[in-house]
Amino acid sequence: MLSSSTASSLRLHQPTRPHRRRPPSPPASHQFRSPASRRHLPSVRARRGGGGTIRAIDAAQPFDYESRAAGLLEERQRLKIAIVGFGNFGQFLARTFARQGHTLLAHSRSDYSAAAASLGASYFQDPHDLCECHPDVVLLATSILSAEAVLRTLPLHRLRRNTLFVDVLSVKEFPKNLLLTSLPEDFDVICTHPMFGPESARDGWDGLPFVFDRVRVGDSPARRARADVFLNIFEREGCRMVEMPCADHDAHAAETQFLTHTVGRMLATLDLQPTPIDTKGYETLLRLVDNTCSDSFDLYNGLFMYNKNSTELLNRLESAMDSVKKRLFDGLHEVLRKQLFEGKASPPTNKNAGDVRRKPLLLEGNAASSPPTPNNTAVHLK
């Protein structure tokens, strides 16, 4: 416990400052703290009212200290993020990054300066200018197909020596290998896949899965903290954070995402339309077509080309269709066989008799001459 004389001498040494003074401007380059040291900062708040020690000093001092600490804490949660590939998905992510107060830079093949300005982002047509701004994070949001070529256009030597690279490509092993082989060893790498998009996350990200793999994060508190601050963007929005190796992601994603997109694309070729008697199931199919076909074909093509599990999934899908058809036609065959051999009809002699799909046509005459029974109703199904 401080004596009153100690307290007054401390007070004498405190410069007079207005309450709630703004914290000083941050240094040009952010100094990230580890989560542990960040956790330490709010403890300033805990000491304010409860500890006898601090309460003995002028009330203005700890109050001011708290506001300064809170300001610094907030500043350390902000990143300078350069989005490379500012198309559909890059802009979708930028809206949330901007709302959370991060500084945004953007670069793309096309000129998106107006879209960037509307989001408060600085747009750079030239990647040299972008890299010279020394972003904390470079976020690769180009198409899967163009990722390698785009990465090669970035002048990496203009970036800070240990910049964090993050990709959001919908496949994961490919960018992991690409980034590990293309970037200097001092760069950190996190591979991510937000499992949602502008359509499916129209109403927010809450509860939606965010897959990530800390592929390479340097072993220093500042670099670990920077990675945490980036991941925290998604956590704060309520995403379900799923840490998973890239290879596991691709195995699961072929079963889920590629399948979903393939079925959506197949249904789209049928040009399905709403009817006055739509069931819930049919409405779900119409929504699936909308959700999948609003993404570019490049994206879908990338899911196929750059996920080694996709070919097998396509083959399984094809044989699944065959086996469903077979079950239906086998049943039909059974009905016809009974009709042929147990009813009045004679066995077919036509050379096409082996093709079960043609049997109802061949047997129409017989069906007309015999009364319908449970066994021969199939012949009336046209």
Name the site residues for ligand NAP (rule: CB under 6 A).
85-90, 108-110, 141-144, 146, 149-150, 168-170, 194, 197, 295-296, 298-299, 302
* Pick 174 or 187: Cβ nearer ligand NAP: 174
CB of 65 to ligand NAP, least distance (A): 43
Residue with Cβ nearer ligand NAP (73 or 201): 201
Residues in the chain: 382
Judge contact between 267 and 285, C-beta under 8 A.
Answer: yes
Least separation, in Å, of the C-beta of 102 and ligand NAP? 18
Min dist. Cβ of residue 280 to ligand NAP (A):
24
- Nearest-CB residue for ligand NAP: 197
d(Cα 120, Cα 134) in Å, to the nearest integer?
18
Of 121 and 144, which has the nearer Cβ to ligand NAP? 144
Closest distance to ligand NAP from the beta carbon of 204 (Å): 15
Q: What is the DSSP track for 48-64?
A: HHH-HHHHTS-THHHHH
- Three-class SS of residue 279? coil
Q: Which of 187, 272, 191 lies closest to 223, judged by CA? A: 187
- Residue 241 CA to residue 232 CA, distance in Å, equals 10
The answer to whether 113 and 223 are in contact (CB under 8 A) is: no
Q: Which is nearer to ligand NAP, 1 or 114 (CB)?
A: 114
Separation between Cα atoms, residue 293 and residue 290, nearest integer Å:
5
State which residue, 139 or 362, has the beta carbon closest to ligand NAP.
139
Minimum gap (Å) between residue 175 Cβ and ligand NAP: 8
Rounded to a whole number of angstroms, the minimum distance from the CB of residue 242 to ligand NAP is 14
In whole angstroms, what is the distance from residue 55 CA to residue 337 CA?
96
Three-state DSSP state, 171: coil
In the bound complex, what is the minimum distance in angstroms from residue 173's beta carbon to ligand NAP?
Answer: 13
CB of 138 to ligand NAP, least distance (A): 14
Instruction: Give the closest residue to 196 by CA, choosing from 58, 92, 112.
Output: 92
* Complex with ligand NAP: residue 136 or 167, whichever CB lies closer: 167
The answer to whether 85 and 110 are in contact (CB under 8 A) is no
Q: Which is nearer to ligand NAP, 141 or 225 (CB)?
A: 141
Q: What Cα–Cα distance (Å) separates residue 111 from each residue in 96, 131, 295?
A: 21, 17, 20
Please tell me what DSSP assigns to residue 350.
Answer: S
Torsion of CA 194, 196, 202, 207, to 10 degrees: -80
Distance CA 131, CA 150 (A): 14
Quick one: 170 or 262, whose CB is closer to ligand NAP? 170
